[in-house]
A and B are shown apart, each in its own frame.
Chain A
Amino acid sequence: MWRRIVISTLLAILSSGVVLASVTVQASVSQTRIYDNQDLEYTISISGDVNNYPEIDLDNMKDWDVLSSGTTRNYTWINGQSNQSVDITYRLTPRSSGTLTIPSQTIEIDGKRHVTKSLQVQVLKSSQPQPQARATPPQGQRGSASADNVGKDDLFLEASVDKDTVYVNEQITLTIKFFRDVQPLQTPDYSEPTWTGFWKEDLPPQRTYAQRVNGQNYHVNEIKKALFPTAAGTHTIGSATIAVVVSERSRQDPFSVFNNFNSLFGRSKTVTLHSDPISVVAIPLPEKSQPKNFSGAVGHFTISSKVDKTKVEVNEPITLTLKINGTGNVKSIVPPDLPDLPDFRSYEASDNEKTERVNFELGGSRSIEHVLIPKRAGNYTLPGVQFSFFDPKSKSYQTVSTKPVAVEVTPASERFTSSLQNLQTNQLDLTAKDIRYLKSDIGELHGKRSDPLPTKPLAFLLYLVPVVGYLVVVQQQRRREKLASDLGLRRLKRARKMAEKRLSEAKQHLQGGEAEKFYAETHKSLIEYFADRFNLPAHGLTEEKIREFADGRPDGNLIDRMVNLLKQCDFGRFAPGGSEAEIMGKLWEDSRELIVEMEKQR
């Protein structure tokens, strides 16, 4: 029971954290020193349980005009405890100069009175009015409205520059301000001036503030641009234009929240405002004492360099980073060239810029990375890189330089012999800035129409050569195979050859006077020739068989002659005594002639 009571008490204490948190009220100002044409923010912060807070009327403000107010509400939950705060911000403009007091305010919350401190603000007299702080509505540089009900001082557009004479590439800050004393019904349509002859950079942020001109409070939208003349001479910044839709019915309080309701019942009208063009004289940079390596940078810069390593192997890339830092147009800087490095191959790897806008002055840095590849081992010093610029403040050229860097290169290990090729081609492709150089050799000259060989159909006949060669081989091979398989054909083919061989043997016998052998050989050559021709066994061939097998082919006459010659051989063999060389010679000649003629009739 007691435990339950303790727990519920603890829970009640925890959950009532909001109630326990005390309410505090504080007042603060955005600036404690202002000019009498400026305004400031006065904030009353209430923190704690501020679900309900009373309306605060700043009735006791004697030195100040209250222009507007706004409320910001924050809600946080930290360690189980909720905390709320409300900031009520007022925009105040001074009614006079001197040390003015913002009196303390009394606020009653939940029956408890909270009193803020009174605050002192020093308001200076704007003795030298700045371009945006004119005592009277400016006439020359501004355009104004021409609507009937909307007065010409209710809306105007003003353009001004901080300098009207500058050096080429020196910054001019252009300020365009849109003053309005009436509430536009729509977002105004703004067109930028023309910038011919200038390099333009935006200078954010766009500012919105209140300004008092000639006792009239204006709501001001201000944008700034940094302009850099690109060439010497007089250049004109064109007119900025803004089209504003306003209610024709009545003047409205630009800070009133009821304007949109009013506009529902009034007729609207578009008012177009133009700012006047501004002429700027760009003076050329002095030629006298211009450094050789000067490439147009204007401003104030420093240069530094950095290498990623100081001990490398041959072919191992080193990254050398040059960084140019300062104020001026960093985007238009031409990076300085590296000095001649005969012992290194160098490639520009990257070029990055970073712009900064400090106090509406353009500046920043430019980083250029060079990849250096040592060709030989040794100890080298990378000389300092020089960078020259023109400083418009001192009206002189200045040259800054990086420190030399010592690099130790040791002979290459295998790792860096192969990777070199890749690195080179990649880097070169990335940085191709011009066409490649000429070829020194004209090469193989052709006639005018030097079309390649295969465009000529006749060339394709060449392809047929191996095919034809192959077909010939196949044909030959087939014949050989047929011969091998056909005995009769083989005998037929060799018939003459064999016959001639025997006849020449017979002739030797004739010359040797061996008549019997001569007749026998001649007989054999004739009989065997016939047998080969007709694929017959040579043994047992008689006159009748010869006539029977020949069967008129070759013609009968030749067969008659053969039979006759065979008879003569037989006669000679069996009666060799009577033989004379002359008869044998004729027999031999006749036999040879007969075979030749029979061959012809195949």
Chain B
Amino acid sequence: MSETIIGSTKVKTGFAEMFKGGVIMDVVNPEQARIAEDAGATAVMALERVPADIRREGGVSRMSNPEMVEGIIDAVSIPVMAKVRIGHYVEAQIIESLGVDFVDESEVLTPADEAYHIYKHDFKVPFVCGATNIGEALRRIAEGAAMIRTKGEAGTGNVVEAVRHARSVLGSIKSIASMPKEELMTFAKDHGAPYDLVLYVHEHAKLPVVNFAAGGVATPADAALMMQLGLDGVFVGSGIFKSGDPAKRAQAIVKAVTHFDNPDILADVSRNLGEAMVGINIDTLPEEELLAKRGW
């Protein structure tokens, strides 16, 4: 028998493929993690405060405490993800050593480095990173991200930014795929995108990793919209546990992602969900409070 290999790109990106058509839910304690698992979440994202609370309370937002992450790992059998600050590779080392299954290098936390993201190839644990456009997505993949998500505008319950980012990335993929080869290098230069990855997108008409929606998804209809736009799955942050009936809303969003192109089922699961989280109009937010601007 040949040698066993762990922590390879194939094992990381392959794991990300398994989340497709699923919903990854933000949770802040083991009890919420169990509710998410019972509702059919494909993974939970362990964090100290959901984005809506980070937005309200302010202050520096960091990775979660080890005991909190371990409590969630012990509570559920599905994969556990956890957030680290942009550029904070020591937080990532700690999260990896706890046995977390996926690391989110996230703009929702306060960035630790104003110029550089983590060199993610150094880790055995896979990473997901946010992106607002194709250049950003391909830079993160070149650094070793095994999964990309839209940034959206987390904690607002407003899906408009996630839609903007999804349309931007997916639109660029279509245009790269149909571009004559001689235009690819200039496209790479103009978007700060690694040329070899632009070439990959040109040949395959897709990113080399899965591409999820995140930031502002609050209803089953929002989740299905992101799927119909062409994303592979959905992260829901504040949208579930800031709503009136989290268990029911969580189940409804899970069903909506599977049956995203079946309006009868979408209508059915959207019934009697109680209050959705209160949303924020993004154009009323001051520039310095926009999380999607973080990351380089």
| A and B together in one complex | no
Interface residues of A (CB under 8 A from B): none
